[in-house]
A = this chain, B = another copy of it.
Amino acid sequence: MRELREAIQAHGVGIGKDVVKVDSFLNHRIDVALLTKIGQTIAEAFREDRVDCVLTVEASGIAAALTAAQALGNVPVVFAKKGDHINVGADVYTAEVYSFTHRTSFTIRVSRSYLSEGMRVLIVDDFLANGEAIEGLRSILRQAHAELVGAAVCIEKGFQPGGKRLREEGIKLLSLATVEAIRDGEIIMAGED
């Protein structure tokens, strides 16, 4: 998606070999017009997939999930919660997710009430790197006997294995922008996609 690639090149900050900091428009400050366009672009790609529900993880996946759900005709969003939430209740599906960013594992939870057997679910997230978050969400979908129609991410780190693995499994995966490498602080993007 051209607008997103341009935003990454104009405002993204490459740190070390693998951190792409996009705080200024994606996951701390939100460029609302850009996120609305991101949602529309995701919806176009999954228009024919009869999506019943968009599933993401709090917090930084919520904006893209919500705008995608709007553009898909106001299907509901469910966001998995991290850690212990006394308000979530005990009747939950859970999965363990290892975060390379925070170098720790955390539990994600989704109330059993909001996923049902056969429900057609689109996973949306801000980043795809090693794919740990998406694997956690897939585990929850399997527990619920819900159906994964595909996954859409704003930024794929092409130099980490999550995207390749999902494609090899035959999962329909939309990456709106792919970072190929970070070199001396410069973010190297893949071409048109």
**Interface positions of A (Cβ within 8 A of B):** 19, 21, 23-24, 28-33, 35-36, 58-60, 62-63, 66-67, 69-70, 74-79, 81, 86-88, 101-102, 110-111, 113-114
Contacts and interface: CB of A to CB of B under 8 A. Distances in A.
Contacts of A69: 30, 32
Copies in the complex: 2
Contacts of A77: 29-30, 32, 63
A21 B62 CA distance: 19
Contact of A79 (B21, B59, B76, B86): B59
Nearest to A113: B24
B36 A114 contact: no
Contacts of A81: 28, 59
